Structure 1
């Protein structure tokens, strides 16, 4: 599949020059400015400071600020703590782990409440703390002993507790390169693009249980959906059928992102993005745009039947960035109105939503507009990178859309193409933390993207190039894919965990579950948002002592994920992989493409509790899945 493309170097330069530019914001209602959270407390630990505070019910997130202390006084202004995610720094949970400071250096911390991604309220009263250096002399009972011994975090749970339903935000959706690539027979790294992209989607469906796939550019000219003959529109969805047939055969349903603009329908076809020259202009004829949308939806319903009623139709992509939309906000709101109404005219049961925005922008603006205009919004969709997704439920309640679903249709560790953090281990624990945070408040958290067969700014130049994919060219799992695999092993019932020790419920996180057969699956990981620690920090390693009440004597298995287990970057370095593997190296990479399960035998008995006790060393970044068989 081919289309007119601009040179990759030009596409990259254009992207870098315009990606930070926001589209016109238009007129806005007044967003409330929220008071700061109460009860801010700072707990110093080895290599980190854990901050916690009381939730503010109307907040979508919180922005942590810091200022250095010198000679007992605050030395300089407060500034947001930058964990190098490259996008939104606000976090949704009422806690934060700071590993960006210098151990032993005291800082003043203060937190502001975020009511909308661009609106942070005043900072509250600051608290002071310093991360403990390594090694450290004991000053309290909670400080590690002299010599820098690894602190222990105690985790305790009752395997027979009633529990609650376990939410799985990773399961509804995954992102992908534009679906026309499924038909591409070109080679990248010696591998056929379309065949491997399809294989990646099939694997993610089979092993992770993902249900839908979202991709850009279903209306792009390489699918031939629109042309004009003698000045009259001609619609042709035959190639769309080919790619959607493949998606459905893979066991997935498509999320239909309605964009970009067909060249012959664009008011300015010279305004493009990406190497494949996707047109980002408003239409030259709004009626013809609406007709195209209606025709596509009607065709899909005729071809695929009532399953289309379960497909989400999303309006455009990141129109709040100038690089993706050459019009202003008012024109995009018109695009949303025309598009949403065209979808609903075919069948009002088909879900439609947006704004599919970058950095959680335009959510308030769309809901304010839709409330005035009476335009349907079945789901709110947006994107962020580098932090867990914000909590949009207060926004939906405030603006009168409490029942709209929340779809994070793009999310990842970084928005930056070709960033090394994409390939390594720290992105895996980032993914675990984000999914844990989103569970129960986000309907879908879609990781961007499935495969390194991805060419927005050019095809992969080497195996490990910092690509967005969960799987490399060649289909080798990166640590982020293994993290999803671990999550998919969790059971249907979430069990509460009581944690204590240096790093508990912050640096060290856990997710415990019981399966329907009575077996237990418990995930534990050490993680920080701080990307300066992406290669690991010894002072952040922890010893884990996991006690499962009522489970003594049950057989135990563990599966490790860390720099030495399941990290393709480590293995590739050991093999001496250059830009692309040799055939022998490909074979070695494929042989190590799955995680190794270790049999520990029967769990030992904890003192007087009939508890199964498992003790583990866990590096940062690192994760372990502990599985206990059902009671014999």
Structure 2
């Protein structure tokens, strides 16, 4: 893709569609009990949650009288966070700041800021700051939630049938292998992708429909053990009001239909066919999502009102086949239009079986408050796209930082969402053109050639947590904000996943002042148990570092791929358990999984 075309995409992707509304958001009080505590290289801001808030915006001023401005952690998307605490590492050590927090009822609206509180980030010295982690190993615990399991994102699924090659690797074969690995190794259950109505699926044949290509695609998915999340889009050329309105290198049509009746007939025919082909019991387990990111001009050339009409007729067409089939949306960018869709649906009696939306660069907001205030508290919440950055060809996608970011987001979302789908499974992804080289900042968890990136390793670490979540207490410099922990029990195994991360993407390559010594106390564990540590850090499980070591700038040879597999593995080593304590050093970014088992 040309730099000019990429620049055009980057400009258009930021343009939101109509944000005008015929309803008001609640005027939420500012959070209470706001505190800001300076540590080495960071300030941790904490507060009490506010009922009705989907998130919180952190504000900062320099000195006593400077203006309060949002803290920008350079994610390129939503700056609000779902809850406390927040660690600010964009600050300058030794500089006095004031912090305030505003409640956010909806992603585009922030309430009044709290009363500012002061803090000074500390300058690093020779002593590493300390964090204490206490794991209640004998607690009854609760079921450990796994928001990564329900869904993964993918390039358009017609690519499963593609015999072209990228970097010498056949696209369809490798995309299928990547999805199979997500299912077999990580337990993922469904796949969400764009463009089931693109030109290459040929669903309209003159005056009739032909779903044979769709069948071939879904046959492959089901053979793997995966179900599709059927994103109903984009617009078939034969139905488009303006087929010149397109997105992506492959020319997906973003126009409203010339006839909503013909669109509804296509939807009904597709769903009827799927039920006939795969069986009602099977298809009742699928989700039907209306369009993709219509709140961005780049994905919908119509108005908000036209998209609401599209939603209404689409839901009616799906439900005409069977009322129990699940349909939802708004499948929006940056957590937008959630309240808009729910207010519209409630006013018009349109079903919303699930709410779907997207965000990048931060943990997903807690939109349960939006569902409750519109009377849809029972609807499922599906984040059908999420990742470290919304930008194509961003080197951060290949970084260890992105892997540790994934851990933070999944931990934050656990228990409050029904799915958090990382976008996407494989670097066989051609929205802005084919991958230009082996490591190119692609969205994939796996490379062309099928090698795992740090984000895939992070999911592997998560998958090794046991079924019972154990309580954890963190204290010290950055404990609970910079340093986080997720602990579990599985019969005679204790697993504690620790990580060190700031959301500040300017520090993606590391920040020595954020290194912490972590004392992990495990009262109740037999001192004779053995401890194994598996690490993900810069140089450990780090495919980008391994690629640089081998001097690969374009595409690796088969021998180099084999060498990269070995060099980019996560490292597992034994550690010493002193009484009931394990001590580890965590740079930033870094993750370590401690697994404790009886010494047999």
Q: TM-score, normalised by structure 2?
A: 0.98
- C-alpha contact 1:553 1:604 (8 A) present in aligned 2: no
2:345 matched residue in structure 1:
370
Contact 2:536 2:571 in 1 (8 A): no
Runs of 4+ with >4 A deviation: 7-11
**Pairing partner for 2:135 from 128, 149, 157:** 157
CA distance in structure 1 between the aligned counterparts of 2:470 and 2:94, rounded to whole angstroms: 37
> Is contact 1:152-1:501 (8 Å) kept?
yes
Number of the residue aligned with 2:260: 286
RMSD: 1.3
2 CA distance for matches of 1:544 and 1:193? 44
Q: CA deviation at 1:27?
A: 3.6
| Equivalence for 2:202 | 224
Matching of residue 103 in structure 1 with residue 78 in structure 2: no
Partner of 1:507: 482
Aligned residue in 2 for 1:15: 9
Deviations 1:274-330 (A, max 9, x none): 000000001111111111101111111111111110101000000000110010000
Structure 1: 5+ residue runs without aligned partners?
1-6, 136-147, 606-610
Does structure 1 conserve the Cα–Cα contact (< 8 Å) formed by 2:85 and 2:480?
no
How far apart, CA to CA, are the structure 2 residues paired with 1:92 and 1:536? Answer: 25
1:631 positional shift: 8.2
- What is residue 591 of structure 2 aligned with on the other side? 623
Once the two structures are superposed, residues 356-381 of structure 1 have per-residue CA deviations (whole angstroms, 9 ceiling, x without a partner) of 00011110010000001111100000
Mapped partners of 2:373, 2:573: distance in 1: 50
In structure 1, C-alpha distance between the alignment counterparts of 2:432 and 2:354, rounded to whole Å: 29
CA distance in 1, matches of 2:258, 2:308: 16
Q: Matches of residues 473-488 of structure 1 in structure 2 within 5 Å?
A: 473-488=448-463
Partners of 1:83 and 1:269 lie apart in 2 by 39
1:521/1:372 CA distance change after superposition, 3 Å? same
CA displacement, residues 393-421 of structure 1 (integer Å, 9 cap, x when unaligned): 11111001010000000000000111111
Deviation, 1:630, is 4.9
User: Greater CA deviation, 53-62 or 181-190?
Assistant: 181-190
Q: Partner of 1:397: helix, strand, or coil?
A: helix
What per-residue deviation string (whole Å, max 9, x for no partner) do you get for residues 516-548 of structure 1?
x23111100000000000000001011111111
Counterparts of 1:406 and 1:90 in 2: how far apart (Å)?
18
Q: 1:593: Cα distance to partner?
A: 4.9
Alignment deviations for residues 199-224 of structure 1 (CA, whole Å, 9 cap, x no partner):
11011111111110000000111100
Offset from partner CA, 1:87-139 (integer Å, 9 cap, x none): 0000001221000011111111111100011110011100111211112xxxx
Q: Aligned pair count? A: 598
Which of residues 206, 225, 228 in structure 2 aligns to 1:251? 225
Q: Is the 8 A contact 2:540 2:569 kept in 1?
A: no
Q: Which residue, 171, 178, 201 being the options, matches 1:200?
A: 178
The two structures have a TM-score, normalised by structure 1, of 0.93
| Secondary structure of the corresponding residue to residue 119 of structure 1 | coil
Aligned match of 2:470: 495
CA distance, structure 1, for counterparts of residue 598 and residue 380 of structure 2: 36
Provide the residue aligned with 1:74 in structure 2.
65
Encode CA deviations 1:483-541: one digit per residue, 9 max, x unaligned. 110001111111001222111111000000011x2311110000000000000000101
> Is the contact between residue 226 and residue 236 of structure 1 (CA under 8 Å) also seen in structure 2?
yes
Q: Distance in 1 between matches of 2:348 and 2:140?
A: 46
Q: Which of 154, 157, 161 is the aligned partner of 1:183?
A: 161
Contact 1:407–1:444 (8 Å) recurs in 2: yes
Q: Is this contact kept in 2: 1:83–1:531, CA < 8 A? A: yes
Q: C-alpha displacement at 1:619, in angstroms?
A: 1.0
Q: Distance in 1 between matches of 2:454 and 2:412?
A: 19
Matched, 1:414 2:414: no
Do 2:150 and 2:188's aligned partners in 1 also have CA atoms closer than 8 Å? yes
